[in-house]
Amino acid sequence: MAWGNQYGYGQPVMQQPQMTTFINVPSEEVAYKWRVDPNTSVNFINENEGFVYRKSVGMSILEPFLFEVYRLEKVGDNNPKNEEQAQSAPNIDLSEYITKSEFEAYKQTIDEMKKIVEELKG
């Protein structure tokens, strides 16, 4: 608890830490019935059913509280091994490509043709 204001005197000031933690609950009903202090929000997680709940209460207990439901969904696979395997084995039809030995033979033929062209120019 900190005492005072910017001038060093006055009423005590309570500073509440802002934490994002989740309380494990077995069902939506348990999260819905959970007691939450005024001017507070609480996050709940139900890993069995794949839901996250958020219950928020305003400044007064006379105000209706806000209860939100979110569905957990796994977006991708963050396993680097699976990504490496997918990248290391591309599915390409290699029948349309030439081999290195065929390439070398064509290169030699082209080099010989270049020599002939230079001799004719020259």
pLDDT tens digits for 63-115? 889 999 999 888 776 666 666 665 666 677 778 888 889 999 999 999 999 99
Please give the residue range of the domain that contains residue 67.
19-75+94-121
Has residue 100 been placed in a domain? yes
Q: Read off the pLDDT of each residue in 21-28 and give the average, rounded to a whole number.
A: 92
User: At 1, is the pLDDT very low, low, confident or very high (cuts 50, 70, 90)?
Assistant: very low
Has residue 5 been placed in a domain? no
Q: Following CA atoms 60, 61, 63, 67 in sequence, which dihedral angle do they give, to the nearest 10 degrees?
A: 120
The domain tally of the chain equals 1
Q: What share of the chain is helix, strand, coil (3-state, %, to 5)?
A: 35, 20, 45
The radius of gyration computed from the CA coordinates of the chain, to the nearest angstrom, equals 35
Residue type, 40: T
Looking at the chain, the whole-number percentage of residues with pLDDT higher than 90 is 40
Tally Cβ neighbours within 10 Å of residue 115: 10
